[in-house]
Structure 1
């Protein structure tokens, strides 16, 4: 059924649940895993690299090259953090007996994930979903929604659980009348 599973991960704390679901599925199906991280400026926790795209322009305006170097350093650290996450999950999967490899490709997450899956002839994409809706999805976008509508294979979305504080806040708002 599913022999090649692509697992799209980001560096958020909820990536573990996506990985664990994919690993459980791969063990049950004796499938191969490929872990993919697509670093982008839109990723939660990523450094602001907007100045790096046209650094000559900002230097021409008198901005310090030190600021640009600091931004480059933050971006490199972010990329290394992504690679370390991928290595750690790959080691864990291999030690569980699942053939696993990884890749990191900066860019637009939705399109990179779909292109990677198509080119690699994957049977399934496993991806997390934060549950954005309404205006936040409109303005911030939804990678999982894009992948679900553009992937060339099946897609399994893993809903990230709401944190306790968000759940409690939502419950309080429901029972607290506004004055």
Structure 2
């Protein structure tokens, strides 16, 4: 039975569904939840990944400082949005009678999920899957794929509705007579 469920969260469309599934499972098993948000430039809605280059100083000190300040403000807002997401879901879990805690880190999502699962001694990682495949997965990577192969515990993924539609279309195309 599951006693400790780690739930990686982000701002993707599937995030609410992942939380709902985790909450439902925790209520059914009496497990506690640990909600995790990893700040990453790869996440949907993250600020630009390129910080202003110090070489701009030779061009314009004022421009460099303005760009740097703007970049820092966007990251601060990004961090606050992540914390608000975690606080909101933690409150929902607590109101439903489920013990929950959270943390937000800045690191590689794939590795940090596995590290926290190990440190917290999670029985299960319940996470979303965007459904990347082929070249998209090769070039962009897949957090869920990495976690599947490196997690110290069981992993359950919630499939995104968009990837289900893609798989359905691929199946239909494969079944068409040629």
User: Scaled by the length of structure 2, what TM-score is found?
Assistant: 0.87
Asked if the contact 1:6–1:36 (Cα under 8 Å) also holds between the matched residues in 2, the reply is yes
User: Scaled by the length of structure 1, what TM-score is found?
Assistant: 0.86
- How far apart, CA to CA, are the structure 2 residues paired with 1:35 and 1:61? 44
Aligned to 1:59: 57
Asked if the contact 1:7–1:33 (Cα under 8 Å) also holds between the matched residues in 2, the reply is yes
Aligned to 1:177: none
- Runs of at least 5 residues in structure 1 that lack an aligned partner in the other structure: 175-179
- What does 1:1-179 align with in structure 2 at a 5 Å threshold? 1-51=1-51, 56-60=54-58, 62=60, 63-162=63-162
Compared with structure 1, are the counterparts of its residues 160 and 68 closer, same or farther at alpha carbon in structure 2 (3 Å cutoff)?
same
- How far apart, CA to CA, are the structure 1 residues paired with 2:82 and 2:144? 19
- How far apart, CA to CA, are the structure 1 residues paired with 2:80 and 2:27? 28
- Runs of at least 5 residues in structure 2 that lack an aligned partner in the other structure: 174-178
Which aligned runs of 4 or more in structure 1 are off by greater than 3 angstroms?
Answer: 55-63
Secondary structure at 2:43 match in 1: coil
- How far apart, CA to CA, are the structure 1 residues paired with 2:57 and 2:126? 42
